[in-house]
Amino acid sequence: MRLSLTLKSASFKLTAAYAMLFAVSVGMLATVTYLSVTGELSREFHGRILAEVDALKADYRAGSARQVLRAITDRQRGRLMDGLDYTLIDSQGRHLFGSLPAQPCKAGWITLIGPPDGDEAPGQMERLRVFVQPLPHGLCLMVGDDWGEIQDFGSLILRNFGWVFLLSLTLAVGGGFLLSSKFLKRIETINRTAEAIIGGDINRRVPRRSAPDDLDRLAATLNRMLDRTCELTDRIRHQSNDIAHDLRTPLGRLRRLMEPEGKAGWTSRQYERLLEQGTAEVDSILELFDAILRISQIESGSRRGGFQRFCISQLVADICETFAPSLEEGGKTIVQHVEPGLFILGDPELLTVSLANLLENTAVHTPAGSVVTVSLCSDGDCVALAVADDGPGVPQEDRIHIFQRFFRLESSRSTAGNGLGLSMVAAVADLHAARLSTADNGPGLKIDMVFARAS
């Protein structure tokens, strides 16, 4: 099982492929070396014999057969070790010198096989390459040399390359096997971790090594992904809890409304009021779900397709005008500083909802007599929208949380709202790639949204 896994592993296959490639290149190298070395040797071999023949021919022309014989004898004595074989035969077929068998006297190369002379491999015959040169007066000169040496040298090259080939192939396969099983072991660790996580141990992580390599980087990325997934799962669990919690309150009130206790002898008018209250509770639950769905839809980014260029100055002024009477009724004043003629690319409807949410937020969380300032101004390539109030504000440690779903300040738990208004603002800001931030308005809260300005 383990073996077949290793053999099937990508790393082993890769090593095998490399080994194959290496083998082919060794083969090619061997061929080229063999051909060029044997070629060169054989050229030299033949050249030497021809030079010898030429020299003897010149000797003959200068003198006679006797001069040739003397020259041959001198040469043989001079080169004892790698002496060439010389044979001179006269027109009657008598050997004047040497012992090579008589051949038809025609200029050219012949190969002679003779009994071993001691330097051949056991069982091999002596092979001679001989040049036959007819001389005047029916003389026949033969000069030859041991041809087997060169051929042996060629075989030696091939044999050595063969060994190198075998050795490297063994190393490649063995090394590949070792590497693969090591690699597989680490993959197996990752696999086991994943299995453990599937099995419910969601806090398990892939162990890291001290020396970072590819696999270690992969492990790090996997761990980061797992952390992120855990975080998201956590958030979803949190939100489910929050939704459940937020639903319990209106459902509990609804339950109490419908209790039969204390309703004996009620008039139809009283029941009518009860139904109205019940409907209002149900509406608030529906509203909660609508808000959740709406935020999800915004977060999906599908609305980005409908972005258009519009005048945000007009939009802000319109909303301020719309909300001013309601805020004034609550004893608050709305002050606008809107720079006219500013355009952005976006979804006017969603920005209307966001700004409405921001204004409603201030309306709910500030006391009578507060001043709400809405400002819109251009800043280079940006358009900055700010909604500020001079109410009680939000403590700094809570300010980063106010855009989270269902987040509500302890101090405002009793006020109306579901903790989704600012989450919607955050989702809309995100959709528009706008920078959303909060600041202390000293006193009060200031929320800034910075958009890219459309030309």
Partner 1 sequence: MTILLIEDEKPLAEYLRGNLDVCGHGVDHVARGDDGLGLALSTPYDLLIVDRMLPALDGLSLVKRLRQAQNRVPVLILSNLGGLDDRVEGLNAGADDYLAKPFAFSELLARVNALLRRPLRGSDEPSLLKAGDLQLDRLKRKVTRSGQPIALQPREFSLLDYLMVRQGQVVTRTMLLEGVWNYSFDPKTNIVETHVSRLRSKLGGDMIQTVRGSGYMFRAPVPDAEVG
Which residues contact partner 1 by CB under 8 A?
276, 279, 286-287, 290, 293-294, 297-298, 302-303, 306, 321-323, 325-327, 329, 349-350, 352-353, 356, 359-360, 363, 416-417
Nearest approach, Cβ of residue 188 and partner 1 (Å): 47
Specify the residue, 144 or 421, whose C-beta has the smaller distance to partner 1: 421
Question: How far lies 88's CA from each of 70, 96, 98, 110, in Å?
Answer: 12, 5, 7, 16
Specify the residue, 148 or 346, whose C-beta has the smaller distance to partner 1: 346
Specify the residue, 24 or 286, whose C-beta has the smaller distance to partner 1: 286
Q: What span, in angstroms and rounded, lies between the C-alpha atoms of 158 and 164?
A: 10
Reduced to 3 states (helix: H, G, I; strand: E, B; else coil), residue 209 is: coil
Specify the residue, 358 or 434, whose C-beta has the smaller distance to partner 1: 358
Nearest approach, Cβ of residue 238 and partner 1 (Å): 24
SS3 content of the chain, % helix, strand, coil (to 5): 55, 15, 25
Specify the residue, 80 or 416, whose C-beta has the smaller distance to partner 1: 416
Specify the residue, 223 or 412, whose C-beta has the smaller distance to partner 1: 412
Question: Tokens 């590949």 belong to which residue?
Answer: 176
Residue 213: how many other CB atoms lie within 10 Å: 10
Specify the residue, 201 or 328, whose C-beta has the smaller distance to partner 1: 328
Residue among 106, 88, 85 at smallest CA distance from 97: 88
Nearest approach, Cβ of residue 326 and partner 1 (Å): 5
Nearest approach, Cβ of residue 6 and partner 1 (Å): 55
Nearest approach, Cβ of residue 297 and partner 1 (Å): 6
Specify the residue, 148 or 421, whose C-beta has the smaller distance to partner 1: 421
Specify the residue, 143 or 353, whose C-beta has the smaller distance to partner 1: 353
Nearest approach, Cβ of residue 353 and partner 1 (Å): 5
- Judge contact between 180 and 11, C-beta under 8 A: yes
Q: Is 214 exposed, middle or buried (0-12, 13-18, 19+ CB in 10 A)?
A: exposed
User: How would you classify the pairing of strands 371-379 and 333-338?
Assistant: parallel
User: Amino acid identity of 273?
Assistant: R
User: Amino acid identity of 136?
Assistant: P
Nearest approach, Cβ of residue 205 and partner 1 (Å): 40
- Judge contact between 362 and 374, C-beta under 8 A: no
HSE-up of 22 (CA within 13 Å, CB side)?
18
Q: Which two tokens stand for residue 90?
A: 């006269």
Nearest approach, Cβ of residue 12 and partner 1 (Å): 54
Question: Tokens 């080994």 belong to which residue?
Answer: 19
* One-character DSSP codes across 122-171: TTPPEEEEEEEEEETTTEEEEEEEESHHHHHHHHHHHHHHHHHHHHHHHH
Q: Is 92 exposed, middle or buried (0-12, 13-18, 19+ CB in 10 A)?
A: exposed
DSSP character at residue 101? P
User: Amino acid identity of 278?
Assistant: G
Nearest approach, Cβ of residue 356 and partner 1 (Å): 5
Nearest approach, Cβ of residue 320 and partner 1 (Å): 11
Specify the residue, 323 or 451, whose C-beta has the smaller distance to partner 1: 323
